[in-house]
Chain A
Amino acid sequence: MSFLEVLYFIIPTSIAYAAPLILTAIGGVFSERSGVVNIGLEGLMVMGAFIGIIFNLAYADVFGSWTPWIALLVAMLVSAIFSIMHAVASVSFRANQVVSGVAINMLGIAIALFSVKMLYGKGQTDFIQNKIPRINIPILQDIPILGPMFFKSVYGTSIIAIAVAIIAWFVIYKTPFGLRLRSVGEHPMAADTMGINVSKIRYTAVIISGGLAGIGGAIYSQTMTGDFGHATINGQGFMALAAMIFGKWHPIGAMGAALFFGFAQTLAISAGSIDIDFIQKIPTVYFHILPYVLTILALAGFIGKANAPKANGEPYIKGSR
């Protein structure tokens, strides 16, 4: 394989791996920018992956080739509803948000596996027939070099993910809602005095994060695995969390970090088959741990300073100082 052929393989695969991370990480950005720590992303993603697969299996006959797309929407809805639990606990019940997030993670996987056993009588579902298809984008795919890298046999979902990142940037930085969101996460009391409904903004943000994580999970299960079992989502949610931090709580940054993590994952999986000497010599474990090590380094301030929103993780109690 020539170097260019390697790129033609690695880049689309990296973007495909990154798409679920991008969406979930952006969900995390919404939630944490409003001041609610969301460790539960993993559980929300599990829920999305699970719903995506069972919807796809159940309605493949009805909707035909539209099935995976409708499954994404259903997964989004269900995960958004599931995330209300986290919102209620962290905003209204003043719970420890990390603990509540841990509970969401455990609950997500437990409910999904319980339902799979109940519906199918075994540990994992059947394989879906209607996976999300790869498409060639007309005209653009003919551009030399860039065409085969970015526009040939891409998943439509990858394009959606990048679009969502840009929309999220616009919403968070250019709209009144975004300004309120950020102010609630930085200084809820000041925001409250200005007449912003802190609880409402935080509920909305957590539900958005649930919806996006749900789509992320459903994309992952409908492009990568094709079925749902206990190890379908195995740390993707936490990797998205890492991408969010590495991207410094900024949607575009989170997207960049997610793309990079997708690249690391692709290398970890395909390093053995890539005919480049120095990559083959590196043991795959280094690619596997790369996203996590980088996140720790980023947090320690070795790669620029990452500042979390000020009020992140603190329940807002009216009248307290």
Chain B
Amino acid sequence: MVPIISIILGLLVGALVMIFSGYNPVNGYIALWNGIFGDAYAIGETIRQISPYILAGLAVAFAFRTGLFNIGVEGQLMVGWFAAAYVGSAFTMPMYIHLPLSLLAAAAAGALWGLIPGLLKAKFRVHEVIVTIMMNYIALHVVNALIKTVSGGGFKTEKIQPTASLRSDFLSNLTDYSTLHYGIFIALSMVIVMWFILEKTKTGFELKSVGFNENASHYAGMNVNKNIVLSMIISGAFAGLGGAMEALGTFGNMTSRGGFTGIGFDGIAVALLGANTPLGVIFGASLFGSLKYGANNMPNAANIPLEIVSIVIALIIFFVASGYIIRVAILRMNKKKEAK
């Protein structure tokens, strides 16, 4: 109940912001809607945008289930992006090896970036929130330096080989020549992988158990530290694959960046909104991916700066975080109804 109320509140406050800024919220939201579902091309691009959001959301959600807050998805995603772009462009191989290898490289890079905070948490009880934030900035600078090295002083990596590409003529033609690629199927299969790990394996049971109560899990004979590290590795791997979506599907290379992609931070919102369940992540990613892509239509169609959507997303996170007060409000309203 809380996520839905939060979305409504976020959209309402967003509308208020538009009114106070002298824009027409109805036109704004119509432009947003058309930007998402307007035609086949828009739908294709929206789905393309959703795939990295699903993976970023899975990464945050998976760590959450073990009681870990992985704010480092952003950095893990960036190293994954670079790894995929590098492996995708530097080698010549047949497709059935090259594509999986590039994806694997991205997952491994992300996992490595998740391993460090995981180890520090397990060995030294260092809070993973601070370490992952710091790892984000380290990733940003290291990736930029690596791009410079790989490209011989340039600002972007070479285009990936066609054998490593996720591009799909079929999907592209289907959606009026959008950049929709096969990544969405990888993202959806990872949703199933997360569900399978958490619900159908012993490892998943242990991970969740550590998330519920570390001490009880320890008492029951589980290796808490091992599970913390494992959770961060898997979470990082999901994030790295999110980067591969950008490298192998959407952009085909990586350009050096002045700041973050924002996908990793939005992943926090996706996971929160989806209550950290695999299915919920699809829902959250669809919402935020659509909002983000649809916003591009707002400046042209309604003359409203597209940042309004970032305001709405931030507000939704704020309201989800303040879920306690929303639950209290619902409780009060129900009581009043009973009294009548």
Residues on A lying within 8 angstroms of B by beta carbon are: 39, 85, 89, 92-96, 98-100, 102-107, 109-111, 113-114, 117-118, 230-231, 234-235, 238-239, 241-242, 245, 283-285, 288-289, 292-293, 295-296, 299-301, 308
Contact = CB atoms under 8 A, between A and B. Distances in A.
A99 B314 CA distance: 10
Contacts, number: 129
Contacts of A239: 137
26 contacts: A89-B322, A93-B325, A94-B325, A95-B322, A98-B69, A99-B320, A99-B321, A102-B265, A105-B265, A109-B310, A110-B313, A110-B314, A111-B311, A113-B307, A113-B310, A114-B307, A114-B308, A114-B310, A117-B305, A118-B305, A238-B137, A288-B141, A289-B138, A299-B126, A299-B131, A300-B120
Of B138, B265, B318, most buried by chain A (CB within 10 Å of CB) is B318
A251 to B, nearest CB: 19
Interface of B: 17, 21, 69, 71, 120, 123-124, 126-127, 129-131, 133-135, 137-138, 140-142, 144-145, 258-259, 265, 268, 272, 305, 307-308, 310-311, 313-315, 317-318, 320-325
A217 to B, nearest CB: 16
B134 A103 contact: no
A73 B154 CA distance: 42
Given A106-B310, A234-B258, A301-B124, A95 B141 contact: no
B141 A289 contact: yes
A43 to B, nearest CB: 9
Of B123, B259, B305, most buried by chain A (CB within 10 Å of CB) is B305
Contact of A110 (B123, B124, B307): B307
Given A98-B69, A234-B259, A285 B318 contact: no
A98 B138 contact: no
A250 B21 CA distance: 41
B131 A106 contact: no
Contacts of A103: 314-315, 317-318, 321
A299 B133 contact: no
Given A113-B305, A242-B134, A299 B310 contact: no
Contacts of A285: 141-142, 144-145
B134 A89 contact: no
Contacts of B124: 299-301
